[in-house]
Structures are given as C-alpha cells and as structure tokens.
Amino acid sequence: MQGRWILWAVLLWLMAYGKSMAQVDSLEVNEDDVDSSRMLEEVTVERKKKPLMTKVVDGVNEFFMGCDTTYVTPQKYQLTAQAEVSYWHDYYFMRSSVTGNTMVIQSDPSVILGGYVYYSILGYGAVWNLNDLGIPAGKTNGTSLRQTFMIHTAKIFAEYYTFNSGKGAEIRSVSGINLKGKDRTFHGLDSRCNGLSAVYLFNNRHFSWPAAFGENAVQRKSCGSWSIGFQYNHQKTSFDKEALPDYLKNDIDSTLLFTQVNYNDYSVNVGYSYNLVLRRNLLFAVSLMPSLGYRRSNITEAQEEKHSILNNISTDVNLRMSFFWNNTRLFSGLILEAHTYSYRKNKFGLTNTYGTLKYVLGFNFWKKPQSLQ
C-alpha cells in the first residue's frame, strides 16, 4: 500500500515538472518572438528615419547601376585613377566624282600620354601628344590635347570629346602621279573635331558596358546586349593647297582640292556588344555600332566658290574592342577604337577614318559604404 502511494507521488511530481518546463519553453519562445518583433520594428523605424534625399539617391543609384550580381560585380569604390598610353592614326580619302581621281593622305602616327579620373559614374580625361614636343607651331599633327567628359552607368554611357588632328601628314597616293622617290610631306591638313554621344544598353542587368570600356565593373558571365544611341559630331577640315609639294601644285586634279569642309552630323546608332569572359577577372569585348543620320554641311573649294548648305544622309561606323583584366581594385588592358566619318556631295567626297590603340593601367580606391565588410 505504501509503495503504491510513493508511485503516485512520483508520477504527480513528474507531471508537475513537465508542465512547468513547458511553461518555461513557452515563455522563452514568446521572449524570442518579442525580441524578433522588436528588431523588426527597430529596422522599420530606422528605414522610416532615413532622410528623403538619401532615399532618392539610393533609388537613382539602383535605377542606373542596378545589375544581376551573378553576371556583373558592380563598382565597389568611389574613385578611379587611370593612366593611358595610346597610339593615334588618321586617314583621309578624297575622291572626285567628276573625274574619278583620288588622293589618300594619312597623318603621322601619334604617341599620346595622359590619364582619366572617375568619381562614381562621372569621368574626365585629358591626353597630350608626345610628338609635339620640340616641334614648331603649325608643324605638329594637331592632337596636342584631347579632352573627354564621361558618364558611365549600367544603363547609359555618354561622353563629350574635343580634339584636333591632321597637320603632320604624308601623301600616300594621287591618281595619275607617280610619287615614288618624291617628297610626300604635307602640313596643310587641319581637322578640328568635337562631339557628343550617348548609348543605351537594353540588357543592362546582365551586360556591363563599364566592365568592357569604363573599367569600373567586372563581367562575371559572358553576355551580350543590343544597344541604341545618339551621336552628334562637328568636324571642320581645312586644306591648304600652298602646302603641297611643288611637283603636285600644277599637276594635281583641281577637283580633288577644297579649302574647307565644315559639317554638323546628327545620327542614330543601332548595334550589338558582347563581353566574353575568358576566365575570372579576364574579359574580351567587342562593340560594333553602324549609324544612319542627317548631315548639314558646306564646302569651300580651292577655287573659292562657296556652295550652299547641303542636307545629306550620313552613314558612319564606330568599332570598339577591349581586352581587360580587372580584380575590382586594380585593372589593366588594351582598348581599340575606330571611327569612320564620310562626306559626300555631287562631285566631291571625303572620308576621314581615325583609330586609336590604348593601353590603360589604373586602380580604384575609397570603398563605397555598402561594400565595406
């Protein structure tokens, strides 16, 4: 009998203990829930406390720089410094529609040294022609200074540029005249250029234009994108007949000569770009953008006959290629750019093609707050 009472007492104690433990567990869960709720409320309050301007900046940044991070590692730093050594070359092709004769002039190759500075999405670059050092004014090939102002985002790339070219040149060929063994030096060609271009990338969350040409992002998976852009180009090219070698002045076809071509070109570009990831941090990129536009231009011939403004359809081609290594902090690589601008009228045509091969070396610093570990 006594043993039975002891058994009942033990069972009652176990039941009471189990119930008390369940209450403790319940209390702990409730406390956890309370803590989680408090944390959520604090985060919500903190978000609500974020200044309106900060919210606007964050929204704008997401709109312009937002990307799929499995494809693109966005820029982690506020500032970028970049040095550049480049090789420039100009090519002029003139053709008379009256006689069919042609003349080809190419500028002296130029070695350019300069650099770029980027703050976030904004950039400025300036480069100088080393060939101009020690050469008298008027004898250089005119590319003493090229300036570029840029905006690089995930969606949009835009730049404004200005430069001169052409003074130091060589006559490569003239129809009907044998130039072998003769002086081909020509200092009478002067071309002044400035322009504005903007490109919109359709597949901007997966394809990165800055990774290929802006050096402030890294493409992680191979990807391409169609693009559409607008371009304005102003070019003023002067030709001094008196600077021609003496043996050409009297024998050259006069319809090949002009005093000045001055035009403004407005065009729309549609093209395709592709970033090929060769291995981690290593990229090969190609962009081809033909353009179709409206060109308002006039020409003054060597005979000083002024022609009225002509409205022409223009067709040009912009090609870019790059080979880059970028580990988000340091980057190095090559960029090739080629641009072709064509002028045509009823009896005269001028095509100006210029290309540049750049080697760039740079680094990023001042890490963005959201990238700090």
- Could you please report the per-residue DSSP string of 166-217? -SSEEEEEETTB--TTS--EE--EEEEEEEEEEEEETTTTT--HIIIIISSS
pLDDT value for 26: 45
How far is Cα 192 from Cα 332, in angstroms, rounded to an integer?
30
pLDDT value for 17: 46
Helix, strand, coil percentages (3-state) for the chain, rounded to 5, are 25, 55, 25
What digits encode the pLDDT tens for the residues 194-243?
A: 889 999 999 989 999 888 887 678 999 999 999 999 988 888 888 887 88
Residue 111 has pLDDT above 90, yes or no: no
**Same domain assignment for residues 205 and 323:** yes
Identify the three-state secondary structure at position 24: helix
> From residue 312, how far is each of 87, 93, 236, 293, 317 by CA, in Å?
32, 19, 16, 8, 16
> From residue 240, how far is each of 6, 166, 258 by CA, in Å?
123, 12, 8
How confident is residue 68, by pLDDT bands cut at 50, 70 and 90? confident
How far is Cα 121 from Cα 75, in angstroms, rounded to an integer?
9
Residue 319 domain flag: yes
| Summary mean pLDDT of the chain | 76
**Same domain assignment for residues 259 and 367:** yes
Match 């493409």 to its residue by tokens.
219
How confident is the model over 114-118, as a mean pLDDT?
91
How far is Cα 247 from Cα 255, in angstroms, rounded to an integer?
17
pLDDT value for 223: 93
How confident is residue 164, by pLDDT bands cut at 50, 70 and 90? confident
**Same domain assignment for residues 110 and 218:** yes
Lowest mean pLDDT among 262-276, 300-314, 321-335: 300-314
Residue 9 domain flag: yes
- The better pLDDT of the pair 34, 361 is held by 361
- The better pLDDT of the pair 342, 311 is held by 342
**Same domain assignment for residues 28 and 169:** no
Give the structural domain span for 40. 2-49
How confident is the model over 85-96, as a mean pLDDT?
83
Lowest mean pLDDT among 48-52, 97-101, 145-149, 332-336: 48-52
pTM, two decimal places: 0.72
Q: How many domains does the chain have?
A: 2
Q: Kindly give the pairing relationship between strand 122-129 and strand 110-119.
A: antiparallel
How confident is residue 323, by pLDDT bands cut at 50, 70 and 90? very high
**Same domain assignment for residues 302 and 337:** yes
pLDDT value for 129: 78
**Same domain assignment for residues 272 and 167:** yes
